[in-house]
Amino acid sequence: MKILEIYQIDHETSLKLPLFISNVPAGFPSPADDYLDKSLDLNKFLINNPAATFYVKVQGDSMINAGIISGDILIVDRSIVNPYGKIVVALLNNEFTVKRLIKKKSKVYLIPENPKYPNIELSDQVDFQVWGVVTGLVRKF
């Protein structure tokens, strides 16, 4: 999976949307105004550290079993210090990639979430850096 674009977070803007306290059925619609609880600011809900967070648009199918598809916009936090077990954006030989970072015993791997792709064992000969940890995604239907 490749990174197509990188966007900086605009933490100055705020968009508060209505948040309803009841679940919304997928069948027959019901009047929801009676259940209006509060507003939800998606920036505050999705982003823990605005100064260290970016959006990246991805391309490829190596992470489909993790629910990430081509065209998704990932929320990436660069301030998370323990990335093991998490999905990361990494620089691998000067190219961005998205994979799960796993440590087994003394070895470290980038693991795709699609059996079509091989695991990547990271060694001293591989130029590698964790750029950030994926904390969420945005998808437009």
pTM, to two decimals: 0.79
Give the residue numbers marked as catalytic.
Answer: 62, 99
Q: Which of 46, 74, 50, 47 is nearest to 60 (CA)?
A: 74
Domain 1-141 classification at class level: mainly beta
pLDDT at 137 over 60: yes
Q: Which two tokens stand for residue 46?
A: 């999705």
Give whole-number Cα distances, 45 to 15, 19, 48, 82, 86, in Å: 11, 12, 8, 21, 19
Confidence of residue 124 (pLDDT cuts 50, 70, 90): confident
Could you read off the pLDDT of 52-86 as tens digits, one per residue?
999 999 999 999 999 999 999 999 999 999 999 99
Of 76 and 10, which is predicted with more confidence?
76
Q: Any residues with CB less than 8 A from the CB of 128 and at least 6 apart, and which? A: 90, 91, 92, 93, 122
Q: 55 and 74 in contact (C-beta within 8 Å)?
A: yes
